[in-house]
Amino acid sequence: MTDPVDLKKKELRRIMRARRRSLSDSEQADAARKLVGQLWSLPGIGDSRGLLATLPVGGELSVAPFLDEWLQRGRALFLPKVDEDLIGMTPLRVASMSDIRPGYRDCPEPDPVRCPAADISEIDVFLAPGVAFDRGGARLGQGGGHFDRMLAHRRIDSIVVGVAHFFQVIDDIPFRPEFDQRMDWIATPEGIVRCSGQE
C-alpha cells in the first residue's frame, strides 16, 4: 500500500519543480542577486566563519553570488559530497569555485582530489536547498535523505537556513522527526522567514 505522506511529497515535488522551471534565466539571475543581501542580513551570519552550501540543480535558486562574496571575505566554504555508499554526505573545504566538478547524479560537487574533507563541527551555517519549505521549518528535499543525514550530525549551535523562492514557502509539509531536520530560517529574495519555535 502506498504511503499517503509519500504521495503528498511526490505531488509537491512535481508542482514546485514545474514552477521553478517556468522562471526565465533573467528571473533566476535577478533572484540570486537579491538573495545575497537577504543572506547577509541573517542574524549570526556576520560572525560566522564556516558555511556549507550546495550549487543549484534543476532550477534551484542559486547561492553562487553569495558564495563568491563569502570567499572574497576570506571565510571558510564547504560543499558536500555524496559518500561512496550513497547514504550520507561529507563536507569538503573549497578554496575556489574552480574546485567543483560533476558528482553524484551529475550534481556539482567539490573535487575530492583538490578539496580536503572537513569535520562538520567546523560549520557554523548550513544553506539547505529544498523543493519546498514551511514556516515551521520543515523542508522537502529531493527524496534521497542525504542532506538530512548530514545535518543530524551538526553542532547544536549551528544555524540551518533553507534557501528558496518565496513561492516555495508553503503552509504545511509532511514532517517525520525521525528522519527530517528542521530549518531555523528560510531565506528568499523577498525576505527572511523566521521559522516558528525559534528563539
Q: What is the pLDDT of residues 147-161, one digit of tens each?
A: 999 999 999 999 999
Q: Please, how many CA atoms are within 13 Å of residue 127, restricted to the half-sphere of its CB? A: 30
How far apart are alpha carbons 192 and 175 in whole angstroms?
Answer: 21
- Judged on CB neighbours under 10 Å (0-12, 13-18, 19+), 131 is buried
Summarize pLDDT for 108-132 with one digit per residue, the tens. Answer: 899 999 999 999 999 999 999 999 9
For the entire predicted model, the pTM comes to 0.91
Mean pLDDT throughout 83-93? 84
- The β-bridge partners of 191 are 188
* CA 5/CA 102 separation, integer angstroms: 32
Confidence at residue 199, expressed as pLDDT on a 0 to 100 scale: 44
